[in-house]
């Protein structure tokens, strides 16, 4: 029985590097790939189709968008010789499972073919477990009967879904997951069954090379390496103690970060701790960390302790990507700080090392632009910033704003006060858009409170978070016409972090007259 080599086969131009035992799909098999974001899922679907030989027959079912969007980047001389496209409208997970279960076996030309089904994973929880298990069982029976192979590619899986799929592994031939951790994208193959047998879990780095992904083995601990004689030594900036006494005699303190760097260059497995006094020092500290990590290797432990101003998300990721094992947040009690330092003893730094630090600085910092732009300039800047941080834990928000019925898009932009570099706005097709650099989904409401001069609910009826890859290529973003009203631009020094403000309650005196007046 023949087996299909999927998107991770080492001999194809797509994601080279994965061993064959995790690269082949057997005929009659149902495989599942869960990705951390819709953009990654879409790109992997496109790469899979592009890597198929001209002799292959493929069918694409897209329940997460338009199929044509996934294939428009495939050159005419690449991809399968026969490709059939299907779109499914948005529907609940149960209805979608039922629709696929009923409709897929009816499609003509599905024999001896590779099926690719792209799905959104939102709402896939324990309530869909029974329907999903039944579909997987029937799908494998049908695939075997027609000599075909099926790969499901989904995005943003809830934890319950992976548990469900692992629980029903008898009805699934393979399960893999793309996730982001410690600033790097990973491919975790939970299990993979093919003609070579069943392969257990294995974690790979998934590297983004701009025009495609490839996999790389994770840096492994060198068990044969001798234990360094300085592994219990701590070299630290005096400021990290915040007035406390050194915990042990093995702590050596330095008042000058350059002196700490010079001494740290001799470290083998010691712990080197830097104090970060403000965000103005982030870039210089990132370069010091990179120097140490490049020179001393993976066994040295590099720690950063925030002392004054809170870091933004992309700045923390910059420090971690430059070589830090740990960034201790502002406000961490001293004893907790010492516990965190002890917790990384014996660890080796596992991230991929950049070729040189300036590339990291360029990737993880916003463009020096803010305020309202023309649609074309907005799209170019937003895409550039989104592309720069692919593969990191930095998340941006592209919001389609919905003004109140009484307000025009121009009035909405007039109410914006964009302080931070990377926060930009535009009006495209009479619709206002807002791009927030390094803003996680949980902080969107807090960010909107910061960027609107009025409470944002007094300006907007709502907003919708959209994917740059699905929106910025639309025709309305090809205009060079500037917005009729510019968003207010403030100096970056006036920027406030996008965090919830929790203030301690204070007792207040109130007279009975005032209370009666309020009634």
**Which position has the higher pLDDT, 189 or 252?**
252
| Distance separating alpha carbons of residues 255 and 239, to the nearest angstrom | 8
| 511 assigned to some structural domain | no
Residue-wise pLDDT tens digits, 421-459 = 899 999 999 999 999 998 878 788 888 998 999 999 999
pLDDT over 50 (residue 490): yes
The torsion angles phi and psi of 465, rounded to 5 degrees, stand at -85, 125
pLDDT of residue 107: 74
Q: Which candidate, 479, 487, 490, 488, places its Cα nearest to that of 377?
A: 479
Which of the listed residues 360, 376, 402 is the one where a domain comes to its end? 360
| 67 assigned to some structural domain | yes
| 375 assigned to some structural domain | yes
**Which of 7-16, 348-357, 404-413: highest mean pLDDT?**
404-413
**Which position has the higher pLDDT, 503 or 162?**
162
- Length, in residues, of the chain: 519
Examine the domain organization and report whether 62 and 206 are in the same domain.
yes
Examine the domain organization and report whether 356 and 389 are in the same domain.
no
Q: Residue 401: which pLDDT band, with cuts at 50, 70 and 90?
A: very high
| 194 assigned to some structural domain | yes
**Which position has the higher pLDDT, 22 or 84?**
84
Q: What is the DSSP string of 119-137?
A: EE-TT-SGGGHHHHHHHHH
User: Tokens 């990179």 appear where?
Assistant: 290
pLDDT of residue 224: 39
pLDDT of residue 431: 94
Assign residue 262 the CATH number of its domain.
3.40.50.2300
pLDDT over 50 (residue 222): no
pLDDT of residue 230: 84
Q: Residue 15: which pLDDT band, with cuts at 50, 70 and 90?
A: low
Which residues fall within 8 angstroms of residue 263, CB to CB, at 6 or more apart? 235, 252, 254
Flag the least confident range among 333-337, 381-385, 486-490: 486-490
**Which position has the higher pLDDT, 119 or 509?**
119
pLDDT of residue 193: 85
| 225 assigned to some structural domain | no
Examine the domain organization and report whether 90 and 154 are in the same domain.
yes
Examine the domain organization and report whether 326 and 416 are in the same domain.
no
pLDDT over 70 (residue 485): no
**Which position has the higher pLDDT, 126 or 146?**
146
pLDDT of residue 60: 93
Q: Residue 228: which pLDDT band, with cuts at 50, 70 and 90?
A: low
- Alpha helix ranges (H) inside 297-355: 313-322, 334-343
Q: Which helix (H) or strand (E) holds 301?
A: strand 301-306
CA 173, 179, 181, 185 torsion-angle sign: positive
Examine the domain organization and report whether 346 and 440 are in the same domain.
no
Q: Residue 356: which pLDDT band, with cuts at 50, 70 and 90?
A: low
SS3 448: helix
Q: Which candidate, 131, 132, 135, 180, places its Cα nearest to that of 156?
A: 180
pLDDT of residue 186: 85
Angle between helices 313-322 and 282-296 (to 10 degrees): 20
- Is the Cβ–Cβ distance between 84 and 138 less than 8 Å? no
Which of the listed residues 329, 360, 391 is the one where a domain comes to its end? 360
Examine the domain organization and report whether 355 and 370 are in the same domain.
no
CA 319, 323, 392, 126 torsion-angle sign: negative
Q: Residue 486: which pLDDT band, with cuts at 50, 70 and 90?
A: low
Examine the domain organization and report whether 196 and 249 are in the same domain.
no
Report the 10 Å Cβ neighbour count for 286: 23
Examine the domain organization and report whether 186 and 161 are in the same domain.
yes
Q: What is the mean pLDDT of residues 250-257?
A: 93
| 104 assigned to some structural domain | yes
SS3 115: strand
Residue-wise pLDDT tens digits, 30-89 = 999 999 889 999 999 998 898 888 888 999 999 998 999 999 988 888 889 899 998 988
Flag the least confident range among 1-5, 232-236, 412-416: 1-5
Assign residue 56 the CATH number of its domain.
3.40.50.300
| 440 assigned to some structural domain | yes
Examine the domain organization and report whether 288 and 403 are in the same domain.
no
Return the DSSP state at 517: H
**Per-position b or e across 186-207, b if 16+ CB within 10 A of its CB:** bbbbbbbbbeeeebeebebbbb
Terminal Cα distance for the chain, rounded:
81
The torsion angles phi and psi of 40, rounded to 5 degrees, stand at -65, -45
Mean pLDDT computed over every residue of the chain: 81
Q: Residue 515: which pLDDT band, with cuts at 50, 70 and 90?
A: very low
Examine the domain organization and report whether 150 and 173 are in the same domain.
yes
Number of domains in the chain: 3
Report the 10 Å Cβ neighbour count for 257: 19
pLDDT of residue 435: 96
Which residues fall within 8 angstroms of residue 482, CB to CB, at 6 or more apart? 372, 373, 374
Flag the least confident range among 1-5, 18-22, 160-164, 423-427: 1-5
Angle between helices 257-264 and 282-296 (to 10 degrees): 10
High-pLDDT (> 90) share of the chain, %: 31
Q: Residue 281: which pLDDT band, with cuts at 50, 70 and 90?
A: confident
pLDDT over 60 (residue 187): yes
| 464 assigned to some structural domain | yes
**Which of 143-147, 218-222, 361-365: highest mean pLDDT?**
143-147
What are the helix and strand counts (H, E) for the chain? 15, 24
Q: What is the mean pLDDT of residues 391-405?
A: 86
For β-strands 371-372 and 424-428, DSSP reports them as parallel
Which of the listed residues 319, 338, 360 is the one where a domain comes to its end? 360
Q: Residue 402: which pLDDT band, with cuts at 50, 70 and 90?
A: very high
pLDDT of residue 312: 77
| Distance separating alpha carbons of residues 133 and 328, to the nearest angstrom | 43
**Which of 113-127, 347-361, 420-434, 495-509: highest mean pLDDT?**
420-434
The torsion angles phi and psi of 170, rounded to 5 degrees, stand at -65, -25
pLDDT over 60 (residue 343): yes
Name the CA dihedral angle for 500, 501, 504, 505, rounded to a multiple of 10 degrees: -90
pLDDT over 50 (residue 247): yes
Examine the domain organization and report whether 353 and 371 are in the same domain.
no
Q: Quick one: residue 203, left, alpha or beta (phi over 0 = left, psi -120 to 50 = alpha)?
A: beta
pLDDT over 90 (residue 352): no
Examine the domain organization and report whether 199 and 131 are in the same domain.
yes
The CA distances from residue 377 to 257, 383, 425, 470, 481, in Å, are: 40, 10, 10, 17, 10
Residue 277: domain span: 234-360
């Amino acid at each position: 029985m023949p087996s299909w080599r999927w998107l991770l086969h080492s001999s194809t131009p797509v994601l080279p590097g994965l061993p064959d035992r995790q690269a082949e799909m057997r005929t009659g098999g149902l495989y599942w790939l869960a990705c951390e974001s819709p953009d990654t899922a879409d790109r992997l679907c496109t790469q899979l189709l592009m890597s198929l030989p001209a002799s292959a027959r493929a069918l694409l079912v897209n329940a997460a968008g338009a199929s044509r969007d996934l294939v428009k980047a495939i050159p005419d001389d690449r991809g399968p010789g026969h490709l059939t496209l299907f779109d499914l409208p948005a529907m609940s997970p149960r209805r979608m499972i039922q629709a696929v279960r009923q409709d897929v076996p009816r499609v003509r030309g599905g024999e001896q073919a590779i099926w690719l089904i792209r799905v959104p994973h939102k709402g896939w929880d324990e309530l869909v477990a029974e329907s999903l298990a039944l579909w997987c069982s029937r799908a494998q029976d049908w695939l075997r009967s027609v000599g075909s192979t099926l790969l499901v590619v989904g995005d943003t899986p809830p934890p319950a879904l992976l548990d469900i799929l692992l629980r029903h592994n008898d009805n699934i031939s393979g399960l893999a997951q793309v996730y982001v951790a410690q600033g790097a994208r990973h491919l975790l193959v939970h299990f993979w069954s093919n003609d070579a047998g069943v392969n257990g879990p294995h974690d790979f780095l998934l590297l983004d090379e701009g025009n495609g992904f490839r996999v790389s083995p994770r840096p492994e601990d060198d068990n044969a390496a001798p234990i360094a004689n300085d592994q219990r030594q701590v070299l630290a900036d005096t400021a990290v103690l915040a007035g406390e006494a050194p915990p042990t005699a093995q702590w050596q303190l330095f008042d000058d970060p350059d002196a700490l760097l010079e001494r740290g260059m001799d470290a083998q497995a010691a712990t080197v701790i830097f104090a970060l006094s403000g965000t103005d020092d982030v870039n210089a500290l990132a370069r010091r960390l990179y120097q140490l990590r490049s020179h001393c290797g993976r066994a040295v432990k590099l720690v950063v302790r925030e002392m004054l101003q809170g870091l933004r998300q992309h700045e923390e990721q910059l420090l971690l990507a430059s070589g830090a094992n740990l960034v201790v947040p502002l406000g961490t009690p001293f004893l907790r700080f010492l516990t965190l330092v002890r917790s990384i003893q014996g660890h080796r730094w596992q991230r991929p090392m950049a070729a040189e630090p300036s590339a990291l600085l360029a990737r993880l910092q916003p463009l020096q632009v803010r305020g309202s732009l023309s649609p074309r300039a907005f799209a170019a800047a937003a895409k550039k910033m989104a592309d720069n941080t692919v593969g990191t834990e930095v998340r941006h928000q592209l919001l389609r704003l919905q003004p109140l019925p009484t307000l025009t898009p121009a009035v909405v932009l007039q109410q914006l006060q964009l302080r931070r570099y990377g926060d930009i706005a535009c009006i495209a097709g009479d619709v206002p858009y807002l791009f927030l650099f390094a803003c996680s989904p949980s902080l969107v409401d807090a960010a909107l409170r910061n960027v609107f001069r009025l409470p944002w609910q007094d300006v907007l009826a709502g907003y919708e978070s959209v994917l740059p890859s699905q929106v910025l290529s639309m025709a309305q973003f090809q205009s060079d016409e500037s917005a009729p009203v510019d968003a207010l631009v403030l100096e970056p020094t006036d920027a406030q972090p996008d965090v919830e403000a929790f203030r301690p309650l204070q007792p207040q005196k109130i007279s009975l007259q005032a209370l009666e007046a309020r009634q």
